[in-house]
Structure 1
Amino acid sequence: MTLSINTNASALVAIETLDATQTSLSNTENVVSTGKKVNSAADNAAAYAISQQLSGQSSGLSAVNSGLTFAAQVVNTTTTAVSSILSDLKSIQSLINTLTNNQTSSSSISDTSDSITQTLNAINVVARNATLNGVNLLVNAASDGVGIQGTSLTYLTSLGGDTTVISGLHSDISGAMTSGALASSFTYAAGSGSSLTDALGLTTGLASTDAASANIFVTSGNSLNTTTFASGTAGSTAQQMVALIEQAITAMTTIASKLGSNSTIISSMSSFGTTLSDNITQGVGALTDADMSAASAQLTSLQTKQSLAIKSLTIANSQSQSILSLFQ
């Protein structure tokens, strides 16, 4: 081999090998430190582009799932309120039986009427308090000044912007009151107020924020309301009163069923959205995550190559020193 002081071919080869090893080692160290084999478009343009698109879809699904979670909370809150209201209506049903059994006793009618009115107030309080983040599905007040900001619920169901709306439960209740046996036995008239008891026809002109001071069953003179519940072809006064409260129970049961259906649908969509989000996350991982066992083995190999390359360069550099011995 020719000895030259100007060109050290062995050192050049050793330097090239060391540079290549250093580059590979740096890349492998980056993989080990981040756990990803694709950190930028420079690593793998196609995989990086796909992973970014999938990550965007995953973020969008997270937003959709958050909306579904809120919708579920609103529906569950309303369902709980409806259950409580049904219990109160059954209490009123019992009180009406007491009322009609004591229709000749003014004091008994007065006491029973007070109990009915208090229970109606409890119904309206529960309905008004079934508000979550300003959304209330049971009253008819778009804004009541005490927390209610809307009476409908709109939520996203897909990344494409599809939405579902739950609204009009107050009008649905009024509609349910005019169907069934009551329609043929009693002339139902919804109250003009925004309260739930007005929708049920148990009060008149009562706002959702107001407290009831009277009920439809008893007059101010502590006697049965035979004007509204006049005996005739529709039945006796007592029969009509019972028919009204039974229809109110039926109407709220219908609303409970509707809420249950919505809850099931929301739960199903939320479960699917979570599964889809998990699948997308796994897809991103398959494209970008590193095999850490392989990366560890490669790191050890490159560290060994680096040491050997440095040793080789040291030997190559020492060869030029041997030229001096030729001139001694």
Structure 2
Amino acid sequence: MTSINTNTSAMTALQSLSAINSSLDQTQNRISTGYRVGAASDNAAYWSIATTMRSDNKALGAVQDALGLGQAKVDTAYTGMTAAIDVVDEIKSKLVAAREPGVDKTKINSEIKELQGQLTSIASSASFSGENWLSVNSGAAGYTATKSVVASFNRDSGGNVSVGTIGVDTSKTKLFDSNGAAGILDTGRTGGTVVSTFTLTGATTDANISTMISDVDEALGAMTTAASNLGAAKSRMDIQSEFVSNLRDSIEKGVGTLVDADMTEESTRLKALQTQQQLGVQALSIANSSSQSLLSLFR
């Protein structure tokens, strides 16, 4: 039956064109944003996962920054420690020279005093971002010997989050402690020598000098151990920093797999939908014009 009240063909063509236009809008949106899942309405599960992982990735960025700051602090302390080791080495050499018969011990003492002053200067200068791990005051409010560096951000299977840290025990690296606690250089060694303050005089005996040499060598051993500890902490931070960087890349890649649009696929779909739209418009035009043919029946 042919009717001028109900144009079934036009209704069908219109529904088809509306569906094509909707798909075309969706494809154009994907191409313009680059996302296949750009909102929760596109795919609630993937959108939720991607949003959470993007947030975690930002937190890992903060972890990477914290590791960089921690590495700088360790580097500063290590640089100061190695410089101090060189100075203490020089002090030991001066003491060995003082064992020579007829040597002027007061002149050697003048040289040692300059070196001792250099030790104090090195330790007080080894500061980064307000923290000094070589010259400390253990009596200061809020002082803690273990310095923590943020090293990881973790989320378990239950969705609970936690922050991991790397600790550096500065009680084993400090050279001076203004609170009177034992630093490597400002406390008496086994023979009673305080490396940073001992004095040579003309009356200092060879036996005394031998004790001083032993004590300075003992301090050197402690400083070498401290430098090794700092080096180990730095190495761990370097490894962790590289891991965090790679982890961020992996997370970003994983999120992209979930929500990014395949631009090659979308461009192909766009071409097909544009063609379908043109055909749909023509089909609707034909359906709308079909009722006009009825006029010929009444001529």
In structure 2, what is the Cα distance between the partners aligned to 1:131 and 1:31?
51
- Matched residue, 1:73: 72
Partner Cα separation in structure 2 for residue 119 and residue 257 of structure 1: 23
Q: 1:135–1:151: 8 Å Cα contact kept in structure 2?
A: no
CA distance 1:83–1:132, shift in 2 (3 Å): same
Secondary structure at 1:39 match in 2: coil
Q: Which residue of 2 aligns with 1:264?
A: 235
Q: Calculate the TM-score normalised by the size of structure 2.
A: 0.84
> CA deviation digits over 1:41-69, x for unaligned, max 9?
11111111122222222222222222222
Aligned 8 A contact 2:152 2:164 in 1: yes
Identical positions, percent: 31
Aligned-residue CA RMSD in angstroms? 2.8
| CA shift in 2, pair 1:268/1:171, >3 Å | closer
Of 184, 192, 216, the match for 2:180:
192
Is structure 2 residue 299 aligned with structure 1 residue 320?
A: no
Question: 1:132 and 1:253, CA in 2 relative to 1: closer, same or farther beyond 3 A?
Answer: same
User: In the alignment, residue 32 of structure 2 is paired with which amino acid?
Assistant: S
CA distance in 2, matches of 1:124, 1:306: 82
Q: Residue deviations 1:184-221, cap 9 Å, x none?
A: xxxxxx99389864147223xxxxxxxxxxx3123xxx
1:293 and 1:112 map into 2 onto residues whose CA distance is 80
Q: How does 1:195-214 map to 2 (within 5 A)?
A: 197-199=185-187, 201-203=194-196
Is 1:109 the counterpart of 2:111? The answer is: no
Higher strand share: 2
Cα pair 1:169 1:255 within 8 Å, conserved: no
Supply the distance in 2 between the matched residues of 1:304 and 1:92 (Cα, whole angstroms): 88
**Which residue, 202, 215, 223 being the options, matches 2:202?**
223
SS at 1:157 equivalent: strand
Alpha-carbon displacement from aligned partner over 1:284-309 (angstroms, at most 9, x marks no partner): 11111122211111111001111111
Q: Which residue of 2 aligns with 1:13?
A: 12
Whole-angstrom CA distance in 2 between matches of 1:191 and 1:99:
33
* Aligned pairs (5 A) from 1:1-150: 2=2, 4-101=3-100, 108-141=104-137
C-alpha distance in structure 2 between counterparts of 1:33 and 1:267, whole Å:
39
Give the corresponding residue for 2:169. 167
5+ residue gaps, structure 2, are 154-161, 189-193
Give the whole-Å Cα distance in 2 for the aligned partners of 1:255 and 1:97: 24
CA distance in 1, matches of 2:105, 2:47: 78
Q: What CA distance in whole angstroms lies between the structure 2 residues aligned with 1:110 and 1:130?
A: 30
Query: Contact between 2:16 and 2:280, CA under 8 Å: does it hold in 1?
Result: yes
- CA gap of 1:133–1:326, structure 2 versus 1, over 3 A, is same
